[in-house]
Every structure is written in structure tokens, then in C-alpha cells.
Chain A
Amino acid sequence: MTKQMIFTDTPPDNYGEPLYKEYLQYCTRCCMPSSNEGMQFDELGICLACRAQEQKMRINWKKSEEVLRETLESYKERSGDNYDCIIPISGGKDSVFQLHVLKKVYGMKPLAVTFNHNWYSEIGRYNLENALEKLEIDHIMFTPNKALVKKLFVKSFYKIGDSCWHCHAGVGAFPLQIAVKFNIPLLIWGESVCESSGRADFRDNVQKFDRDYFTKVSAKLYPEQMIDEEITRKDLKPFELPSFEDIERVGVVGLHLGDYLFWDDERQMEFIKKEYDWREEHRPGHYKGFKGNECKFETLHDHMKYVKRGFGRGTDQASADVRAGLLTREEGFEIAKKYDQQRPAYLDEFLDMANITEEEYNNVLKAMRQGKFRECR
């Protein structure tokens, strides 16, 4: 196809404009709005995630890699007959790359740990099992019962405007529980918090891992805050964080590989596709085919964010491409408009679960809008 017109779908007057420019401030450089949690714009109106990307060019990754290698060696030495580390994994591109790096590059003996949100997609399950098999990794998975998951799914929607509390809390708690139970102090995640979250940068990475990290960043509520007449404390045991005493006794520490290795997730994705037959899938609301494919409700999660905060996964992915020089900011806004507004897969299933209409669904989320964005109806 020969290029004809850039603005094929959008009226020329609105081409390249963000959807909510009257209500939200947008980063001068990428497409991220002020409604992204923890957003910090600098004197030029540039967000922290954008700044972090440029800091990556001034980091001596050779030296950081040496620090990582020494750290891993020290844990290897002290682990004796036990596992050297825990790798919390979902089967997504980052977790498979983590498994590869730790096992094949650093010769670690990891224990992979998965909190199963119980909504695994077909491709997500394939990617998880395939990676474990090909990389010969021992694995523990915990699966809460579906009836409980459904109750929590709906409750979470009303409480935090995001139906995935059980996943956020479980992903935070379960690996820690295993660390304490199996006496494995080192937990290793993949992408740095600085990479694209906009919550920290490489110079001032204030959100180092601690016990309550996932509660602060994503789950927002502790298990006891989810108790009601249908959900008991006993039901919520799997979501409970170990005590500070237990964490201290085992000496639990967490690190992100992306704080030590130059992170280029698309390149890594291409690598695991080639080496391990990892698979991607294009889904509604997602401009890229390689993110958030493990869960069948992922696109619903992203859509809730869009209604509540004015941006979805399309914005996240387009912003990453703008930072990488793969889109102009205006093209990024066009991509975001196209994908963020797409009706998510399985929305009807959720509406049935919650026994609400689509209008009610939208109203619940709109009521959670913050600041000037509340005026946008």
C-alpha cells in the first residue's frame, strides 16, 4: 500500500489530539495523562517514565550487570541445597525472559511461583507450561477457587474500580508466602518499576521492593478490607502477606532484573519467540500483541482503567513507542484513541457476573474519576 493520507479515521481538525485534552494534562513528550497514578511532570511537562528512558542511556549497564552477577553468586553460595531464588511468573514475555536469563545466563536454580488468577487464557496457559517445560523449571502454582474469584472480581470492581484485586493481592502475597515457607530469601522480578510505570526513575528509585509493594502499587486494599458477609477471613488467607517477623527471619529481598540489565522488552520478546516458541496474540484494546495475554479478562481490566482514568493499554503501548521514536506523539494519540475505546472481550460475561448493565458499569467507573476529569461525563 502506498501512503495516501495520515488521517484516515479521524477528522483532520482532531488529528493527533488526545481524547480528553480539556480535562487532563498530557506529557509533553508521550501520550500519558495526569490521571496515571503517581504521575510527575517536570519543568518541561515531561513525565517520569520518559525521563527514565533517557537515564538508561547514561547508565553504565556493564557495571550494573557486574553487581547483579555478584549478588546472584552470593545467593547461590548461601542457598546450599535449597533453591537459589524465587521467580514469580505469569508466563508473559517478561517472566519467560527472566527464567531464561536466570537459568541459562547465571546458572541459578530457581523455583518458579505462579499465583493463578483463575482466568488463564488458552495462549497464556500454553506460554506458561511451554516455558516451564522447555527451561526445565520447578514450579508451584496456587489457584483460588472460581466461586471466590468471581465474588472478589465483582467486589473489587466496586471498591477500587478495577476487578483484579484478587490478582494484584495474590501476585504480591503468594511468592512471599512461598519464600517464607521454603526459606528462599531472594525474589526476582523482571521489568524495572522505572521502565514505564511513571512511579520512579533510575536516579531515584524510591519504590524499592518491600513487603507491601504490591498492595501500595496495585491491590490498594489489604485482605481484611475485602471481608463481608460472603467473603470470610478464612477465604482471604491466600492473599495475606507474611508477617514482618517472618520476612525478616528469612531475610526476604526482591530485585528487578531491569534495574541491572538494559531492558528492551520487544527485543526480548522476539528472542523468546525464536528460542522458546513463546506466542503472542492481538486482542481488542491492545495495540501490541505481546502484552497482557495471560488473562482472558486483561482487556476488561484495561477498559476499566480507560473509563476511570481516561487512558487504557493503547495509551501505555503507544507512549512506549513514542519514547522509542517509533511513533510521533500525534500518531500515538491516534493509536490510543483507536485501541483504548474498543469494547473489551468478555465484558458481557463480567456484566452478567455483576448483574449490571453496561451503562451501570460505566457509571460506577466514572464516579471514581478524580480531579477535573470528574467533570467529563
Chain B
Amino acid sequence: MRLSDCTATELLERLKTNSTTPKEIAQSCIERIRAIDPMVNAWEYFDEAAIEAQLAKIGTYNRDDYPLYGIPVGVKDIYNTFDMPTQMGSPLWSDFTPGNDARMIHYLRRSGAVMLGKTVTAEFAVHYQDKTRNPHDLSRSPGTSSSGSAVAVATGMVPVALGSQTAGSISRPASYCGIYGFKPTFGVLPRIGVLKTTDSLDTLGFFARSVSDLALMFEASRVHGENYEFVHQYIDNYVSVPDKVYRIGIIKHPKWDLASESAKNAFEAWCARLKSPCLQVQTVTLPQFCDTIHATHQTIYDKSLAYYFKEEYAKHTLMSPIFYDIIQDGLRITKEEYQDALEKQSRETREFDAWMDSYDILITLATADEAPIGLTTSDIPDANLIWTYLGLPIATLPVLKGENHLPIGVSAVSRKYNDKLLLDFLQYLALLGILPMVSPITPNSKSKE
């Protein structure tokens, strides 16, 4: 197996047995990028000298003290990095050098990871991007906004990469690219040094090709300790329960009817595989207030974008029409409407948490269908923003195929701060053989034509 085919967990095993080195791993990623990226355009910034400098630094480390020792990471280009520009998908911020590392980047470097480069993001992590292509079909969208990170992982240019989610920016690219995505509970990963779009929604997360890589990344990038009360109480002190019976709710969310028949059929067939004494499955209906979450989310989102991007809006010649329109919509929303929407989000988060007392995991379709044709096409509405709005941990699982044999993900959602329970559940499914380890895909250049 080539190094670029390995997951982060497999690479760490190889490093432990001295059968490879961080330099060889980085080199294999670089070669893969040279071979693949011209077809998919996943990378915004890539600098071999910066990689060399990091390798020299970790060369002084004691391998056993660093849980991500030598693991290359792709970084969505909204995370500040001291050794690379942060351009946020906008020509307005071309070549901007913030000169510092976001806290999460620091955590990863502290764990021995190597920041391989910056991956393409949609403009300001919102929607518009027109260069990154879906490796399964180059004529299709890879999903936004964490487009480059998802493609880089799907193609084996890097084993893991960082994303962010304000609506569905991790879940959708993961679903369309056929890889794992994980957006932990709001509040578990620090946002310091990362572009802000919406206070109460922006959540960080990552992509991987195996369940165990999700767990690795989660531990390395989250906050720990008594200075973070809820995280300490529910995550640091979490104890896995052997032979736990998972109470699973299969749900049809408010946008379910918009999903394609092939997606729904594939989903139902996969759910039928959830058979084990430890899986207690039932079909459940979401609380009625979930029907209006899309509208409330839009009020919060549009107003926040109008607020945070006032200066960019003033120079709108370098702004996409989609972004410009969102800001115009946001400007029409009053302060009172915005505050009411925030209050509603808070109340519904609390109500949903109480409702979820009966379930450990909710399962549903991650996207309505396979990736749409065209790089700037709008997605069919799905349920992703509901989970983001409610601050819940959500994993996207690469388990379905649509009518064109392209990937579609399944969402597994848990209760706030039950991130480790969700990861335990995924490990259990992996043990049952229901969750695969994903092999990197090599795009076929012909499909571009």
C-alpha cells in the first residue's frame, strides 16, 4: 500500500514500527498533490519550504510524546497559520499574512502534526467557489464551503484536513466526496484565529477516511481540562460503556421530501443493516419546531454576514453576486428580528436537548442526493443546518451510493457534548463492518470534458 493510501492511524502504526518517517510521508503527499491537484484544484497555498521547516522541527521531538507525530494535515484557508497566507477564498484578502496560528492549528502542531498547506474554501466560508472539482466526477461540485479539504482527503493528498461548518460546510463536502466528516459539539474546538461568519453557528471540524482518524483528530484538536467546564464534565470525564445498547432514532427531517428517490432507497437499505443486540432502532419524528429552523437559521446567518462583512461589502466589486445578495438580505433584517432569532435558537437548542433524552443517536441522510452537476450549482436543501443550529455533534458517514454510483453520506447526530459517545457508536459500527475505511480515489481526467 502506498503511504498516500494510508489513514492517519495506519501512518502512525508505520511510524511506530520505524517502517516510515515523517519526511517520507510528507513526500508521498507532495507527490500525490503534484499528480492529482491539477485535476481537482484542492489547494490554495502549498509551500514545500514551510513543510521542510516543520519536518525539521518535529525531527527534534520524541515520537512517543506526540499523538499526531508526522501526520500531514490540510488546513481550510480560513484558519490562521503563521507560516502561510490566509486568504479566506476572497481576492480581497489575497496574500494576506496574519502572522499567527489559530489555536486549533497550535494544538495540532503541538501534537506533532505537519500543516501541509491551505485548502480551497468557498468565499468567506459561505458558498461561492468555482475551482475545486469533485474527484468522483470532475463536472460536479465537491460541496462547499470546505471544498478543498474534502477533496484533498478523498484523493489521498492528505489523510486528514480541517473544515468548518455554519450550515453544512463539512457534512455536505464529506457526503459528496465519499469521506468521513465530523463537526463536534459547538464549544469543544476553539475558534480563536479562525474567520468568523456567525457567532452562534460557526463550528470547526475535520475530514478523514476512517473512524479512528476522527477520534485521533478530535482528541488532538479539542480543549481539555477544568478551565472548560462543560467539556471537562462531559467529555474529559466520559467513560465508554462496554456492550452499550445504542438507542437510535431514524428520522425523516423537514426537507426529506426533497431528497432523491435513489438516495432515500439507499438510506433505507443501509438502515436495514443496523441489526445487532446493541442497536435499538426506531423511526422517530422530530419535534415540530424543527420545521422552522431553516428560516431562523437564515435570519441569523444573513444578518451576521451583513454585520461582519461590512467593509468587504463596501468594496463589492470583488465580491461574488451570491455573497452580495446575502448581505443585502441581511441588511434588511432588524436588530430586533436578529435578537429574536438568537433567542429562538437558544430556546430550541434547550428544548431539543430535552427531547434527545430518549435517544443516543439520530440517523438521517446527509444530503438530498449525489453532488450536483456544476461547480457553482446550489444544493438541494437538506437537514445539515438543523444540527449546526442546535450545536450538536454530527458525523457524516460515507456509506451510500446514488443512482450514478456517486457517494452520498449518512448523518449520525448525538446529543450536545456526547461527542465521545458518538465516536464510540461509529467504532462499534466499524467493528460490525457497517462502516468502511475509505480508499483514496484517483480522478479520471476524462470526466472533466
Which A positions have Cβ atoms within 8 angstroms of B? 1-7, 12, 15-16, 28-29, 43-46, 54, 57-65, 261-262, 264, 266-267, 280, 282, 287-290, 321-322, 324-331, 335
Residue of B98, B187, B307 touching A326 (CB-CB under 8 A)? B187
Q: Is the CB of A325 within 8 A of B421?
A: no
Closest chain A CB from B235 CB (angstroms): 9
Q: Nearest CB to that of B232 among chain A residues?
A: A1
A50's nearest neighbour on chain B, judged by CB, is B199
Contact at B353–A6, with CB atoms within 8 Å?
yes
B234 part of interface (Cβ distance < 8 Å): yes
The main secondary structure of chain A at its interface with chain B is loop
Task: Check A325/B349 contact, CB under 8 A, given A3-B416, A44-B335, A54-B308.
Answer: no
Of residues 82 to 136 in B, which have CB atoms within 8 Å of A's CB atoms? 96-100, 103, 106
Would you call B80 an interface residue if the criterion is a C-beta within 8 Å of the partner chain's C-beta atoms? yes
Contact flag A267-B106 (CB < 8 Å), given A3-B418, A282-B226: yes
| A335: B residues at CB distance < 8 A | 229
How many B residues, CB 8 Å from partner? 55
Indicate whether A62 sits within 8 Å of B97 (C-beta atoms), given known contacts A1-B233, A6-B416, A28-B342: yes
Known: A60-B99, A290-B227. A325 touches B186 (CB 8 A): yes
The residue that A262 contacts in the complex, of B99, B230, B233, B421, with Cβ under 8 A, is B99
Cβ–Cβ contact B187 & A328, under 8 A: yes
> What distance in Å separates the Cβ of A60 from its nearest Cβ neighbour in chain B?
6
Given the contacts A60-B99, A326-B187, A5 and B354 also touching, CB distance less than 8 Å: yes
Contact present for B187 and A2 (CB under 8 Å) = no
Q: How far is the CA of A290 from the CA of B229 in the complex (A)?
A: 14
Min CB–CB distance B150 → chain A (angstroms)? 22
The digit string for B324-359, where 1 denotes a CB below 8 A from any CB of A, is: 000000000001001100100010011001100100
CA distance A186 to B391 in the complex (A): 47
- Which residues of chain B come closer than 8 Å to A329, judged between CB atoms? 200, 342, 346
Nearest residue (CB) in B for A30 is B199
Contact present for A44 and B338 (CB under 8 Å):
yes
B228 within 8 A of A: yes
Query: Provided the pairs A54-B308, A267-B106 are in contact, do residues A324 and B192 lie with their beta carbons within 8 angstroms?
Result: yes
Query: Would you give 25 A-B contacts (Cβ < 8 Å), ordered by A?
Result: A1-B237, A2-B234, A3-B416, A5-B357, A28-B339, A59-B98, A61-B100, A62-B98, A64-B99, A266-B103, A266-B227, A280-B227, A287-B227, A287-B229, A289-B227, A324-B192, A325-B186, A326-B190, A327-B230, A328-B186, A328-B346, A328-B349, A329-B342, A329-B346, A331-B187
B346 pairs with A16, CB closer than 8 A? yes
* Chain A hits for B415, CB < 8 A: 3
> Roughly how many angstroms separate A330 CA and B338 CA in the complex, as a whole number?
16
Q: Is the CB of B187 within 8 A of A327?
A: yes
Q: Which residues of B contact A (CB under 8 A)?
A: 80, 96-100, 103, 106, 186-187, 189-196, 199-200, 202-204, 223, 226-231, 233-234, 237-239, 303, 307-308, 311, 335, 338-339, 342, 346, 349-350, 353-354, 357, 391, 415-418, 421
What are the 6 A-B residue pairs with the smallest beta carbon separation, nearest first?
Answer: A62-B99, A325-B191, A262-B100, A61-B99, A3-B417, A3-B418
Chain A residues with CB below 8 A from B106, complex form: 264, 267
Min CB distance B405 to A, Å, is 38
Q: Which residue of A lies closest to B241 (CB)?
A: A2
Which A residues are in CB contact (< 8 Å) with B97?
60, 62
CA distance A95 to B200 in the complex (A): 33
Which chain A residue has the least Cβ–Cβ distance from B335? A44
Within the complex, the shortest CB–CB distance from B204 to chain A, in Å, comes to 8
Nearest chain A residue, comparing its CB with the CB of B189: A325
Across the interface, name the chain B residue whose C-beta is closest to A4: B357
* Contact (Cβ within 8 A) A325 B190: yes
Contacting residues, chain B, for A290 (C-beta < 8 A): 227
Beyond A262-B99, A289-B227, A328-B186: 17 further Cβ-contacts under 8 Å? A1-B238, A7-B350, A28-B335, A28-B339, A44-B307, A54-B196, A57-B98, A60-B97, A60-B99, A61-B100, A62-B98, A267-B106, A289-B226, A290-B227, A322-B199, A325-B202, A327-B187
Contacting pair B350 A15 (CB below 8 A): yes
For B345, the closest partner residue in chain A by CB is A328
Which B residues touch A324, using CB under 8 A?
103, 190-192
Find the residue from A4, A57, A59, A329 having the highest chain B CB count within 10 A. A57
- Bound together, the chains give a CA A59 to CA B350 distance in angstroms of 36
How many Å lie between the Cα of A201 and that of B214 in the bound state? 38
In the complex where A62-B97, A287-B229, A326-B190 touch, is A43 in contact with B335 (Cβ < 8 A)? yes
Q: How many angstroms from the CA of A262 to the CA of B238 in the assembled complex?
A: 34
Chain A residues, CB < 8 A from B308:
54
Contacts of B335 in A (CB 8 A): 28, 43-45
> From residue B86, how far is it (CB to closest CB) to chain A in Å?
9
CA distance A287 to B193 in the complex (A): 23
Partner of A328, one of B200, B311, B421: B200
Nearest-neighbour CB distance to chain B for A14, whole angstroms, equals: 11
